[in-house]
A and B are shown apart, each in its own frame.
Chain A
Amino acid sequence: MSTDYAIQVRNLTVSYGPKPALLDVSFVINTGELVGIIGPNGAGKSTLMKAILGFVKRDIGEVYIFGKPVEQTRGLVAYVPQRGTVDWDYPVTVHDVAMMGRYGHLKWWQNESKEDHEIVDECLKMVRMSEFRDRQIGQLSGGQQQRVFMARALAQGAKILLLDEPFAGVDAATENAILDVLTEAKKAGITLVVVHHDLATASEYFEKLLLIKQRLYAAGPPSLVFRQELLTEVYEGKLKVFTDLIKE
């Protein structure tokens, strides 16, 4: 098994009940790539994320992280959840959320060390959230919250970041800020996999795309994935928008 691949998925099938959410999906992602996962609602994008995290029971298939089965690689993959899944009233500050990323490195009797605090400060700086460190998490805007979660993932020291729709419901300025963080993380050698909804920006943001609707329809550079016959098949009725896209 080559360890050049950050993520290798082979013949993955996952089902909740009788209908498979993912069917025979295989692909590889190289170390340091910035990859977008696209596909319509209910296509299995989030399920694929969870499979890469080892959260869902696989019917068939394997997931390898740096050449090792996913179950043996806890801590290497960090997950940045969708905004809707988090309780924003929770009593926790920005700094403490980022510090949660360090928990995996601490034994129960150990206090957070100076180094842990430095790492957390560094990660908050990287996502440009240092000045908000003592704010309660619910007092931030959507994009700021997203960046705090990215800081937490970076503080964890993960080599792979999975982001579930980080651009959903944020304004243009925040979108750029998040994009900057992604670019910096990529420069630092981190592999990034992003579930993305907006086809109009997908080809601009990502060097590689995975087009998914239960099966993997295409994987590769945007020019290869953005082909009319593929998009027609995957997105069915909503084609008009995409014909415009392809012309561009």
Chain B
Amino acid sequence: MMELLSFGFMQNAIMASILASVACGIIGSLVVVNRIVFISGGIAHTAYGGIGLAFFLGISPLLGAGVFAVTAAVIMALITKDNKYRADTVIGAMWAFGMAIGIILLDLTPGYNVDLMSYLFGSILAVPKSDLVYMFILDGMIIAYILTWYRQIHAVSFDSEFASSMGVRSDLIYMSMLVMSALAVVLLIRVVGLILIISMLTIPPYMAERRSNSLKGMMIYATLFSLVFSLVGLVMSYFFNLTSGASIIFVSAICFFLSLIYDRVRTSK
């Protein structure tokens, strides 16, 4: 087991797990308490269009994904604000449209790119150092964001009308949460891949929420949960030669169901 840690790729993978867990813990908690799971899924899948574009243009895929994800987040914030009742339909359409753009642009890109699968399902064991730098910067932005606006975010998430009555710009805070979710999506792509991101943003925070009386506490617990899930999934994927993203989600989901059973038994006592 110890020899595992001597591999450079393993050290990178552990570092990536830590960085991703911070994003999961903070942003995932906001996603869960604001019930924007579907929107986050939409943002993640729209980002695929950006990856396709990046391959087509020969630029960094994470940059492409970032631009698409943030643009999608802003558009979705505007749509859900004015058109609450059919917003999910529009998000569903954007979700599919982003994927379609990605696939078409990849079709148009000469040569077949094997690396593509790693964006769909994640490949934490193959994260290069350069991506760790990106992830580190994005984490820094997320932490700065939450430290600066914690109270406003807390107030808007709990009761946006009350927050507005105190003069908080609830609409801007809401939009900022979606934009930060977009950044978290970009950060998590390497770890679990686009398709599985939703589970990383929801399972650890949900379990954390059951065990915490404050948003802060929820974020810390969620970070720890997702770190444990990532590391266990990572080791599992190494020893059994499994897809890392799927292994991480598998571990999370098993723990999630066990926690549901545990909570049920505990409350019935």
A residues with CB within 8 A of B: 53, 55, 74-75, 77-79, 81, 85-87, 89-93, 96-97, 100-101, 103-104, 106, 108, 134, 136, 149, 152, 156
Provide the bound-state CA to CA distance between A108 and B147, in Å. Answer: 8
Residues of B within 8 A of A81 (CB): 159, 161-162
Most chain B beta carbons < 10 A, residue from A53, A74, A100: A100
User: B70 within 8 Å of A by Cβ?
Assistant: no
Residues of A within 8 A of B166 (CB): 74-75, 78, 101, 103-104, 156
Q: List 24 A-B contacts (CB under 8 A).
A: A53-B161, A53-B165, A55-B161, A55-B164, A77-B165, A78-B166, A79-B162, A81-B159, A89-B209, A90-B33, A91-B214, A91-B215, A91-B217, A91-B218, A92-B213, A93-B213, A93-B214, A96-B214, A97-B158, A100-B151, A100-B159, A100-B163, A104-B166, A108-B148
Residues of B within 8 A of A85 (CB): 159, 161
Closest B residue to A134 using CB positions: B213
Provide the bound-state CA to CA distance between A86 and B162, in Å. Answer: 10
- Structural contact, A91 and B209, CB atoms closer than 8 A: yes
Residues of A within 8 A of B154 (CB): 92, 100, 103
Residues of A within 8 A of B151 (CB): 100, 103, 106, 108
* With contact pairs A92-B214, A93-B213, A103-B155 given, residues A87 and B162 touching in the complex (Cβ less than 8 Å): no
Residues of B within 8 A of A134 (CB): 213
B residues with CB within 8 A of A: 33, 35, 148-152, 154-155, 157-159, 161-168, 209, 212-215, 217-218
Residues of B within 8 A of A78 (CB): 162, 165-166
- Structural contact, B33 and A91, CB atoms closer than 8 A: yes
Q: Which of A75, A86, A93, A96 contacts B159 (CB 8 A)?
A: A86
17 additional A-B residue pairs with CB within 8 Å, beyond A55-B164, A96-B214: A55-B165, A74-B165, A74-B166, A74-B167, A75-B167, A78-B162, A86-B158, A87-B35, A91-B218, A92-B158, A93-B213, A97-B158, A100-B158, A103-B154, A104-B168, A106-B151, A134-B213
Residues of A within 8 A of B149 (CB): 108
- Structural contact, A90 and B164, CB atoms closer than 8 A: no
Closest A residue to B167 using CB positions: A74
Residues of B within 8 A of A101 (CB): 166
Residues of A within 8 A of B163 (CB): 100
- Structural contact, A100 and B155, CB atoms closer than 8 A: yes
- Structural contact, A87 and B158, CB atoms closer than 8 A: yes
Closest A residue to B150 using CB positions: A108
Closest B residue to A76 using CB positions: B165
